[in-house]
Structure 1
Amino acid sequence: MEMLTFEYPATKTLHNRAHVGVVGSGDLEVLMEPSKESRAKIIVRTGCTGFNETWRLVLERFFTVHDVAANITVNDFGATPGVVSLRLAQALEVSQNDENY
């Protein structure tokens, strides 16, 4: 199991928590919570070692567009970069709903 940590500057506020996905073969779980700091902090827990640069590039692309202040935990079970991007976008969309998930 490998744990990676990333941080990106943020200017937008995240209003609600979000939980999307499941930890299962080829998928991942994303937990997103608002942060009072002007940064996004992402902790990735993955069983696939050696993909630090891939994670960095995918997250950098996402947070360049969506600079939200959030604490994010990603529990990965071999998801592809496309699935990672989709789950992050899904979590962001869920966090914008007024309903509590």
Structure 2
Amino acid sequence: MLRINVDSEIDQVSIKLEGSITGIWVDELESAWRSANAQRDSRPLRLDLRDIDHIDKAGSYLLALFHCFGTELIASGVLMIDIVQSIEHDWPAHG
């Protein structure tokens, strides 16, 4: 299961996630990100991964694409920090 909360503030748009980025939830996250990205204007878009407990390969790939489009990935915990650092190293941001 994946809980997705989008918060549009004056200075940023943030997406807070809770649960797992796996299976059908990868598609749900992509839809939520597309919607948030479309409304962000010039504000930064931040993806809060601190409450994610599991991610599959498709989820990791999706996060890499988000990073390439300029989304800031916020993580905690050894596993998620390692995934985010790997994405930041291997996938340059263009956005």
User: Shorter-chain TM-score category?
Assistant: under 0.3
Output the TM-score relative to the length of structure 2: 0.27
- Select the structure that is richer in helix: 2
- Select the structure that is richer in strand: 1
